[in-house]
Amino acid sequence: MTNTVENLTVVNDSLTAPRYAIEYPTELWSEVAKGLFIGGTADDDVDIQKTVPAIQKKDFDTVVTAYAWANPCDWFVKEIRFGFYDGTMEDFNPAELEDIVSMAYADWKRGLRVLCRCQAGMNRSSLICALILMKDGYTADQAIALIREKRSKHALFNKKFVEYLKSI
């Protein structure tokens, strides 16, 4: 079964969005709550020949990177790396995210600028950011709505991620 809904495609009850099917944010990073950001990775920030890191201390204090091909951040930026696929969540134990979310949440609550980033800043980074917001008292629905308001109406189009958030 294939249907198109708001530029997203439903295939066998799973929501997918090819790059050309949705409008991706034009800005690399979006502030979701004061000091808490969701973002992607610039296309040229996966080039191993790059000499100047794209993310520097002037930008963020802590960065959670969920995209394995992203270049590392600059010196003095705490970077927490956990590359995982934008898929079904069956390739890793979601409990592994708890430590990462706890560290990022603690830094955010201390007033540090925290970025959750993946490739496009739509699903993996939004999942992590939603978990941070939920740790702060938001319900899954409130966190998802805020992320979609601040980043993109298409953010968290991965149905499995949304189901996971609503299940905890």
Residue 9 has pLDDT above 60, yes or no: no
Q: Write out pLDDT tens, residues 87-141.
A: 999 988 889 999 999 999 999 999 999 999 999 999 999 999 999 999 999 999 9
- Residues found in the chain: 168
Closest CA to 148 of 165, 87, 56: 165
What residues have CB less than 8 Å from 97, skipping those under 6 apart?
82, 127, 128, 131
Q: Give me the pLDDT at residue 10, please.
A: 41
- Return the residue matching tokens 């809904």: 5
Residue 31 has pLDDT above 80, yes or no: yes
pTM beyond 0.85: yes
Q: Could you write out the three-class secondary structure of the chain?
A: CEEEECCEEEECCEEECCCCCCCCCCCCEEEEECCEEEECCCHHHHCCCCCCCCCCCCCCCEEEECCCCCCCCCCCCEEEECCCCCCCCCCCCCCHHHHHHHHHHHHHHCCCCEEEECCCCCCHHHHHHHHHHHHCCCCHHHHHHHHHHHCCCCCCCCHHHHHHHHHC
pLDDT band at 7 (very low <50, low <70, confident <90, very high): very low
**Mean predicted lDDT score pLDDT of the chain:** 89
Residue 46 has pLDDT above 80, yes or no: yes
